[in-house]
C-alpha cells in the first residue's frame, strides 16, 4: 500500500505515449495489468523497476517516466520513515483482495456502480461518470469500482480505478452506507460483455485502444515529458 500511495502521489505522469510509438507504448503498459484495476498495475510497475535496480534503461524500454518514478521512490521512503517514527510495523499482505479492500476503506466515498448503458453512477450524490480510456478496466466494465479522482473533459471520467465487492462498503463504512443501498446484483443481467470481472476481461495491447480513439483528444494525457499536451483535464475531485 505504501508503494501504491507513492505512485498515486506522482499524478498521471507515470507512463508516456509518443505518437510515433503508440502501439509499442500501449503494449508495454498492458504488460503491467494483472486484473482488478489500475492500482495493481502501478504496484506491478514499481515492483519490476525496483527488482531491476531502479534501471533507467528499463524505464526507457517500457515508456515509463524516470523522473516520476524517482519522485515516487522518494515519497515511498518518506512514508516508510513516518511509519517507523510512529512505530507502525510494515507487513506484506500477500493477497490482492487485501489491497483492494484497503483501498476501498480509504476511498469508500468514491464509489460508482455500472449502469445498463455502459456508464457508471456514483452511489452517493448520484452523477453519471465514465471510466477513463487510459484505464486497464475500460473494456472490462466491472459492476462496482472505487476511483481515485474525477477529471472533467468532454465527460466526467474516473481515473485510477479498482474493482471492489460492494458488501465491503457496509463492513468498512456502516456510518456511510446502509445495507439497502448496496444491493446484491451479481445475478442481474447486463448487456453482453458488460459487468465482467476484471480477472476474466480481455487483456493485451488492444485493451482500451478503441475507446481511447473514440474519445479523441478530450481524454487528455501526459506527453513524453510528462506534461498534458492538451491542457484540458480538470480534476474536480481528489483524495483528501
Residues 20-50 pLDDT 10s: 999 999 999 999 987 899 999 999 999 999 9
Among residues 63, 85, 107, the one where a domain terminates is: 85
Pair (75, 117) in one structural domain: no
More confident residue, 79 or 195: 79
Check whether 95 has a pLDDT greater than 70.
Answer: yes
Band of residue 230 on the pLDDT scale cut at 50, 70, 90: very low
The residues, ordered by sequence, that sit 6+ positions from 114 with a Cβ below 8 Å of its Cβ are: 120, 141, 142, 143, 144, 145, 190, 194, 195
Check whether 224 has a pLDDT greater than 50.
Answer: no
The answer to the question of residue 91 being in a domain is no
What confidence tens digit (pLDDT) does each residue in 124-166 have? 888 999 999 989 898 889 999 999 999 988 889 999 999 999 9
The answer to the question of residue 222 being in a domain is yes
Distance CA 198, CA 6 (A): 24
Supply the DSSP string of 8-24, one letter for each residue. Answer: HHTTT-SB---GGGHHH
Pair (168, 232) in one structural domain: yes
- Cell numbers 484497503 correspond to 102
Pair (101, 80) in one structural domain: no
What is the mean predicted confidence (pLDDT) over 200-219?
Answer: 40
> Which is it for strands 156-163 and 120-122: parallel, antiparallel or unpaired?
unpaired
Band of residue 82 on the pLDDT scale cut at 50, 70, 90: very high
Domain range enclosing 77: 2-85
Pair (60, 141) in one structural domain: no
The answer to the question of residue 90 being in a domain is no
Total number of domains constituting the chain: 2
Amino acid at each position: 500500500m505504501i508503494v501504491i500511495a507513492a505512485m498515486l502521489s506522482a499524478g498521471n505522469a507515470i507512463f508516456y505515449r509518443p505518437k510515433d510509438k503508440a502501439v509499442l507504448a500501449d503494449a508495454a503498459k498492458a504488460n503491467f495489468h494483472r486484473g482488478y484495476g489500475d492500482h495493481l498495475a502501478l504496484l506491478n510497475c514499481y515492483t519490476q523497476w525496483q527488482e531491476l535496480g531502479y534501471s533507467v534503461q528499463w524505464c526507457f524500454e517500457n515508456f515509463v517516466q524516470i523522473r516520476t518514478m524517482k519522485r515516487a521512490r522518494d515519497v515511498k521512503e518518506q512514508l516508510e520513515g513516518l511509519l517507523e517514527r510512529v512505530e507502525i510495523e510494515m507487513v506484506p499482505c500477500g493477497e490482492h483482495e487485501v489491497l483492494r479492500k484497503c483501498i476501498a476503506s480509504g476511498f469508500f466515498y468514491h464509489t460508482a456502480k455500472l449502469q445498463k448503458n455502459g456508464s457508471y453512477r456514483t452511489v452517493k450524490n448520484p452523477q453519471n461518470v465514465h471510466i477513463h480510456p487510459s484505464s486497464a478496466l475500460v473494456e472490462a466494465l466491472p459492476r462496482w469500482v472505487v476511483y481515485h479522482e474525477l477529471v472533467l473533459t468532454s465527460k466526467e471520467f474516473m481515473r485510477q480505478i479498482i474493482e471492489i465487492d460492494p458488501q465491503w462498503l457496509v463492513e468498512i463504512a456502516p456510518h456511510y452506507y446502509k445495507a439497502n443501498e448496496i444491493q446484491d446484483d451479481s445475478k442481474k443481467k447486463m448487456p453482453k460483455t458488460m459487468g465482467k470481472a476484471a480477472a476474466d476481461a480481455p487483456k493485451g495491447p488492444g485493451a482500451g485502444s478503441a475507446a481511447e480513439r473514440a474519445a479523441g483528444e478530450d481524454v487528455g494525457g501526459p506527453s513524453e515529458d510528462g506534461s498534458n499536451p492538451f491542457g484540458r483535464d480538470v480534476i474536480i475531485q481528489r483524495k483528501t
